[in-house]
Amino acid sequence: MELFKELQWFFFQEWKKYTGTFIILTIITLLQLLPSKITGQTIDLILNHQSSTSQILLNISKIISISIVIYILKYFWRILLFSASNQLNSQLRIKFCVALLKQDATFYSKYRTGDLISRATNDIDRVVFSTGEGILTIIDSVISGCSIIFMMCTQTNWKLSLFSLIPMPIMAIIMRRYGKLLYKYFQESQKHFSFLNNQAQDSLSNIHMIRNFGLEKLEIKKFSTIAHKAGKKNLQVSKIDAQFDPIIHISIALSNLFAILGGSFLITKKQLTFGQLTSFILYLGSMIWPILAFAWMFNILERSNVSWTRIKKIINYNNKKKPQINNFNPKKPLNLNINIKKFSFPSRTNNSLYNIKLIIPNNTTLGICGPTGSGKTTLIRLIQKNFMLHKGVIKYCQNDINHIQLKKWRSIVSVVNQTPFLFSTNIFNNIAFGKPNATIQEIKYVAKLACIHKDIKKLPQGYQTQIGEKGIKLSGGQKQRITIARAFLIPSKIFILDDPLSAVDHDTEHKIIKNIHKYTKKNNITTIIVTHRLSILEKFNNIIVLKSGTILQQGSHEQLLLQKNWYSEMYNYQKFK
């Protein structure tokens, strides 16, 4: 019941529908008791030769009328109950999605895509199921069960009722024990289902790489191993599930046996009539569904509790965010001041960056270069607020960016990441992603700045061309230029490009860099570019060389060439190569 306590906000929200469901189910329960009573009375009338044809037909018509009313009421409770649970389905998925969008890179290094997909689909379905069928089983097992027992005790014989129901408490104890086992095994099952999702997602995302290297058999073996483990865990759950039904049927059979034995004894003692025994057995037959519902309730709730725990970890995930500035409005952009004492990733102990002191004046260009693994991408990820900086500070407009709301910060920072990401839609929508209301003229303008317009014109459907998943139909250079065009379209104050031209030829690269200089100068934008091609940094205001997580060199292109260090050596090497 812990799950329902945590979902009480939803039950308060949909209280009218759940109250209506409760009332209708209660009426149905009471109506379902009447046919058994009428049948018993009819049998006694026939055996006592007190019945007439009209009386029997009247009783039959009563039973038929009650059945029709029950049928109509069942239609209405289903609409009320399942429309309410469907509301939870929508709200939980929205909450889950919002929670994912708020998380930083630390979160995504902890939770993998396949695991999140599993929680967003399978686990949410389980929780929603508990607010539909779960509520139904609770109401039916409690109200129906109690009502039937009350009728059995008051309308027939209370001693026979107690005697017949002896197996039920024993069944409840066993069910509770199996419920705890089900919780444990289902938890393991869901965990391995997430592993399976992770592997499937990895294989599908990298299917071309797997085929290129001929690793199909290895991937099949890896997937089969994980699937086998997940299957074993599911089998454990199924074994527990399989024990519920036999226990229920044995309990019902014993209750019927006790009812017949006890009823026969009471008839011989003239304490019970045949009609009353018939009614009693019919009541006992009506107990089958409440007993099944009772067992099903344990099953549903234990599974739902596991799923809710998994969902809650994502929705309530704590980013340890610092206090936010609500009135931040950078109308007059100032310097970007960087002072990083040290930074290490959550999963590592060694410092990725240390002793980084840097001032980037407004409307200037900064080039970042250095050997592989020197911390270039890490630095710009900190500027993007992908990770929280705890030992040091990055300030913009004299405000710590950790205190600026993420939404506001992202609205003034335009980024082109190292690996271009495109959506499975057309080129127009991909470029317009940051500005959905962009016109075709705006799209063409930024496409020309990114030197991709001519390529797009050559495609059969132009800007409406579907590019496939992750832009599979495009070349690496085309992907990079489309992401650059997308960044141009966003009205930003800081323009960050992380090695965005690695797949572009030399001439096109210099055209794009020239366009970037013109565009950023015209729009008063600060530009930061990470690159391995040093020739594109010749006209930058400032260049830093990172090595082993700290600044090795700093200055203009001409100043760094005179220092005879890493920059000059690499520049000359690339120039003569």
Q: Where are the domains of the chain?
A: 2-315, 336-576
The amino acid that residue 504 corresponds to is V
Give CA 565 to chain center in angstroms: 50
Is 416 within 8 Å of 410 (Cβ atoms)?
no
* Predicted pLDDT of residue 43: 76
Distance, CA of 513 to CA of 497 (rounded, Å): 11
Strands of the sheet containing 353-360, edge to edge, are 353-360, 336-343, 392-396, 399-400
* Predicted pLDDT of residue 62: 86
Distance, CA of 470 to CA of 47 (rounded, Å): 80
Task: Name 56's Cβ contacts closer than 8 Å, sequence gap at least 6.
Answer: 42, 45, 46
The residues facing 551 across adjacent strands are: 546
* Residue numbers in the chain where pLDDT is lower than 50: none
Distance, CA of 353 to CA of 375 (rounded, Å): 6
Task: Name 534's Cβ contacts closer than 8 Å, sequence gap at least 6.
Answer: 369, 567, 570, 571, 574
Is 329 within 8 Å of 209 (Cβ atoms)?
no
Specify the CATH architecture of the domain 2-315.
Up-down Bundle (1.20)
CA-to-CA separations, 422 to 462, 465, 489, in angstroms, rounded: 16, 13, 15
* Predicted pLDDT of residue 51: 66
Distance, CA of 427 to CA of 438 (rounded, Å): 13
Same fold, 2-315 and 336-576: no
* Helical ranges in 402-556 per DSSP H: 406-412, 427-431, 440-449, 453-458, 476-489, 506-522
Token pair for 463: 């800007």
* Predicted pLDDT of residue 92: 93
27-32 long-range contacts (CB < 8 A, ≥24 apart) are 27/73, 28/70, 28/73, 28/74, 28/77, 29/140, 29/143, 29/144, 29/147, 30/147, 31/66, 31/69, 31/70, 31/73, 32/66, 32/70, 32/144, 32/286
Distance, CA of 376 to CA of 556 (rounded, Å): 18
pLDDT tens per residue across span 350-402:
888 999 999 999 889 999 999 988 999 999 989 988 888 888 888 888 888 88
pLDDT tens per residue across span 468-521:
878 888 888 899 999 999 999 988 889 999 988 888 888 898 899 999 999 998
Give one DSSP letter per residue of 343-382, joined into a string.
E--TT-SS-SEEEEEEEE-TT-EEEEE-STTSSHHHHHHH
How many other β-carbons are positioned within 10 Å of the β-carbon of residue 479?
A: 22
Give CA 23 to chain center in angstroms: 34
Backbone angles phi, psi at 220, to 5 degrees: -65, -40
The radius of gyration of the chain's CA atoms, rounded to the nearest angstrom, is: 35
How many other β-carbons are positioned within 10 Å of the β-carbon of residue 474?
A: 23
Strands 550-555 vs 542-547: parallel, antiparallel or unpaired: antiparallel
Q: Report the top-level CATH class of 336-576.
A: alpha beta
Query: Burial, 406: exposed, middle or buried (Cβ in 10 Å; 0-12, 13-18, 19+)?
Result: middle
CA-to-CA separations, 316 to 104, 134, 551, in angstroms, rounded: 14, 24, 38
C-alpha closest to that of 135 among 19, 270, 221: 19
Q: How far apart are the first and last CA of the chain?
A: 71
Element (H, E) at 292: helix 288-315
Distance, CA of 162 to CA of 157 (rounded, Å): 9
